[in-house]
């Protein structure tokens, strides 16, 4: 049975990648300080809308810039604080942010597509059910992360991925607006 947005109920969890989904991903670089963090157009509005339809909004992000010593964990926390403060102005927010600072070539690491960050989220929020969860990301590792856990998957953007997501949207706001339309249609 194909996945439809109408299947989402308020007990679902939305896992979101950060760079390229919520904020502009610097080309071959990292968001190293708060001044580098720029929301993608419509992302704040999208998160505000999505917060009405999901029990939890959880960011899961690979941040090997720390492992490469290009930034510190304090820098990353300051970036996330700025993100949450700007979302709060929109009456929006993220319930939790999980990140992996390991290098991609380190064995047994926590980076997506490893399920490590999702299991950490589930430990903090025990009512998260991966069968009622959705992963929205822009890369193959995001889609594989969701699939590894039995989640439904949405690709945001048009980056070439080698795993077919359940659905695709050009940006987070398009997804949020479509979900809102579907939910409003079902109420009427």
Q: Which of 11, 19, 29, 138 is catalytic?
A: 19
pTM, 2 dp: 0.95
**Nearest 5°: phi and psi at 99?**
-140, 155
DSSP state for residue 183 in the 8-state scheme: H
36 is catalytic: no
Q: Which CATH number fits domain 5-187: 2.40.30.60, 3.40.50.410, 3.40.50.1000, 3.40.50.970?
A: 3.40.50.1000
SS (H, E, C) 142-181: HHHHHHHCCCEEEEECCCCCCCCCCEEECCHHHHHHHHHH
Question: 128: which residues sit within 8 A by CB, 6+ positions away?
Answer: 13, 56, 118, 121, 122
Q: Classify 113 as helix, strand or coil.
A: coil
Residue-range domain boundaries for the chain? 5-187
pLDDT per residue of the chain (188 residues) written in tens, 0 to 9: 678 888 899 999 999 999 999 999 998 899 999 999 999 999 999 999 999 999 999 999 999 999 999 999 999 999 999 999 999 998 999 999 999 999 999 998 999 999 999 999 999 999 999 999 999 999 999 999 999 999 999 999 999 999 999 999 999 999 999 999 998 877 65
Q: What angle do CA 133, 168, 94 make, to 5 degrees?
A: 45
Q: Which of 11, 17, 127, 166 is catalytic?
A: 17
19 is catalytic: yes
């Amino acid at each position: 049975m194909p996945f439809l947005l109408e299947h989402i109920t308020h007990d679902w969890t939305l896992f979101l990648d950060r760079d390229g989904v919520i904020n502009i991903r610097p080309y071959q670089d990292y968001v190293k300080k708060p001044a580098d963090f720029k929301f993608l157009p419509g992302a704040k509005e999208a998160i505000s809308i999505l917060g009405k339809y999901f029990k939890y909004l959880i960011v899961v992000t690979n941040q090997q810039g720390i492992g490469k010593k290009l930034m510190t964990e304090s820098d990353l926390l300051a970036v996330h604080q700025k993100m949450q403060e700007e979302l709060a102005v929109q009456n929006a927010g993220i319930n939790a942010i999980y990140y992996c600072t390991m290098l991609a070539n380190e064995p047994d690491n926590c980076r997506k597509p490893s399920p490590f960050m999702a299991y950490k989220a589930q430990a903090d929020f025990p009512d998260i059910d991966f069968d009622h969860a959705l992963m929205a990301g822009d890369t193959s590792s995001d889609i594989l992360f969701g699939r590894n856990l039995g989640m439904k998957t949405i690709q945001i953007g048009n980056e070439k991925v080698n795993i077919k997501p359940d659905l695709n949207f050009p940006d987070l706001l398009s997804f949020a607006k479509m979900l809102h339309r579907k939910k409003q249609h079902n109420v009427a």
